[in-house]
Amino acid sequence: MIELQDPPQDRPAARPLQAAIDYFATGMRGVRGFLTQGSSFALLTLLEVQRRDGIRGPITEIGTFHGKALIGFGLATLPDEAVVGVDLFVVGTEDFEASLRTNWDSVGLPLARLCLHRGSSMELGTQAWAALLAAPARLVHVDGEHTRSAAAHDLALAASFLAPGGVIVVDDVLHAWYPDITLAVAAFLEANPDFRAFAIIDREADLMRGGAKMMIARREDVPRYDEALRFCLPRSIVRRTAFAGSTPLVIAFAPDHVKRLLPLAAR
């Protein structure tokens, strides 16, 4: 079982990111969606790095579904940072925008901080994307339309307005149902050598629930995330591999793996 492990020197009464830690550890289980425990702890590690290093800006997700990941992002943001979700909000006959808003509200996040764009990300150009975000994003989770053209488009949007130190996380890479997503990521990395993949989070559940994630940052920001992932997920680092010119960590979670919290200055 994955457990949270406090560094002994770091037990402030009010730990930064405590609400996000609690949500990713247990709270998210009540929200419909596709985020697995191991992936949530890898995302939490990125958010800890950003808090430690003062990396600021909105967090955005293309493909929110009911908000399983988006709520964790919301709980990790500061009051002046926006959270932006882009989705069609309709699957079949089900409209889930109200469910997302209810889930957001139920963890005590102000609805005023939730910025939702209803529509296909494919209709957003880089100018509209920048206008929607208002400031460069520090984290973009690409989890919308699972086609090569959409993944390529969403990656280009994400890279077009990314804050210094920001990260892009792409869901469902190396996925047998969506092999084109991996091609889109490889093409992006080969065309944009200033961006590098620094981690591949292996799948954790069956084919349709626990998709692998690829984590991408600008070349100069790779060391800060690489070091933190190795510190925070000590039993989960399998090896380093080669992918499209990058050498990402391969991270796979076994039942006895732990998530160590990154030491952060107390609030």
Ligand X SMILES: C[S@@+](CC[C@H](N)C(=O)[O-])C[C@H]1O[C@@H](n2cnc3c(N)ncnc32)[C@H](O)[C@@H]1O
- Interface residue with ligand X among 150, 152, 233, 244 (CB under 6 A) is 150
* Terminal-residue alpha carbon distance, the chain: 30
Q: Does residue 226 bind ligand X (CB under 6 A)?
A: no
- Interface residue with ligand X among 57, 139, 143, 158 (CB under 6 A) is 143
Q: Does residue 46 bind ligand X (CB under 6 A)?
A: no
Q: Does residue 210 bind ligand X (CB under 6 A)?
A: no
Q: Does residue 86 bind ligand X (CB under 6 A)?
A: yes
Q: Does residue 38 bind ligand X (CB under 6 A)?
A: no
Which amino acid, 180? D
Cβ 61 to ligand X, closest distance in Å?
6
Q: Does residue 208 bind ligand X (CB under 6 A)?
A: no
Residues of span 5-34 touching ligand X by CB under 6 A: 33-34
Nearer to ligand X, 101 or 235 (CB): 101
Nearer to ligand X, 31 or 189 (CB): 31
Residues of span 53-72 touching ligand X by CB under 6 A: 61-65, 68-69
Asked whether the CA dihedral 210, 229, 70, 17 is positive or negative, the reply is positive
Closest residue to bound ligand X by CB? 33
**b/e sequence 95-132, b meaning 16+ C-beta within 10 Å:** ebbebbeebbeebebeeeebebbeeebeebeeeebbeb
Under the rule (CB under 6 A), what is the footprint of ligand X?
33-35, 61-65, 68-69, 86-88, 91, 120-122, 143-145, 150
